[in-house]
Amino acid sequence: MAKPIHEVECTIISNEPVNGEYRLLVLNAPSKILDCEPGQFFHLLCPVSDTLQPYLRRPMSIYGYYPDKGELHFLYKVTGEGTSAIATLKAGDNFNVLGPLGRGFDILPNWQNLLLVARGVGLATLAPLALEARRLNRKLTAICSARSDQFLLSLDYFRELGATVIPLTDEAGTSSVENMHSIIEGLIADEGIDAMYTCGSNRILKLLQTVGKEHNIPGQIALEQQMACGIGMCQCCVRAFNRNGAIVNERVCREGPVFDLQEAIGC
């Protein structure tokens, strides 16, 4: 049974930069919107000013949800008019959000050793998965990739949650697909991997699909797509998937954003 969707006014607790590209938005949120799943997202109503006038809401994956504290967190990169407008919000401002939306990640009972692989801001989408893995007492390894150490996100957060963290960067020459493949094969040979999770990157998607097929390891991917309504009405986010040998079209906002790893088609 689908959980209810709410449109609410939250209050900004903080909206601060975490490095040269990303900001952390922390909201004081009512408990009714904090019954979330890792991988779900919210549709955010961007503020409008004389200089910034975003027309549509912006979908944003959940970075953290904390019912005990009444907080909802988003980690985002300022890239366009919508996120530029969100970056102007200050502590005490009101902020309209719609959600939680979409289908989140699964952690099945027999999935004990989990592998998380992501690059850049994709780590934000997978952060709640680490929180859930700790709650379920699962072993988690996080392979985190970025251009340089400066843009590696959430490493300390993953470590605090008990994950084994493997940082890779372009700058250090460690982030190639070949090296990542070698690392994953080593993890499989050592303790085994029961499930794999990723977000966004096509090259990581293709790598994990190859590994998954070879070793019969299931996995899931959270996909990003342009959206208008965020609730499945407008069909703006329809994307093709390979299911049982046939191409099917599904809405990322409604049937996703989390999908079976092997069914996803890179774009």
Is 182 annotated to bind ligand?
A: no
Is 59 annotated to bind ligand?
A: yes
Is 82 annotated to bind ligand?
A: yes
Is 267 annotated to bind ligand?
A: no
Q: Which domains, from first to last, does the chain contain?
A: 6-101 (2.40.30.10), 113-263 (3.40.50.80)
Q: How confident is the model at residue 19 (pLDDT cuts 50, 70, 90)?
A: confident
Is 36 annotated to bind ligand?
A: no
- Quick: pLDDT tens for 48-62: 988 989 889 999 999
Pairing verdict, β 139-146 and 164-169: parallel
Is 253 annotated to bind ligand?
A: yes
Cα 267–chain centre separation: 18
pLDDT of residue 267: 67
- Quick: pLDDT tens for 168-179: 999 999 999 999
Is 196 annotated to bind ligand?
A: no
- Quick: pLDDT tens for 115-160: 999 887 788 889 999 999 999 999 999 999 988 888 787 888 889 9
Is 227 annotated to bind ligand?
A: no
Residue 154 has a CB neighbour count (10 Å cut-off) of: 25
- Quick: pLDDT tens for 180-227: 999 999 999 999 999 999 997 899 999 999 999 999 999 999 998 889
Is 237 annotated to bind ligand?
A: yes
Is 199 annotated to bind ligand?
A: no
| Closest alpha carbon to 99 in 65, 69, 124, 129 | 65
pLDDT of residue 157: 87
Provide CB contacts within 8 A for 85, sequence distance 6+: 46, 47, 48, 49, 52, 54
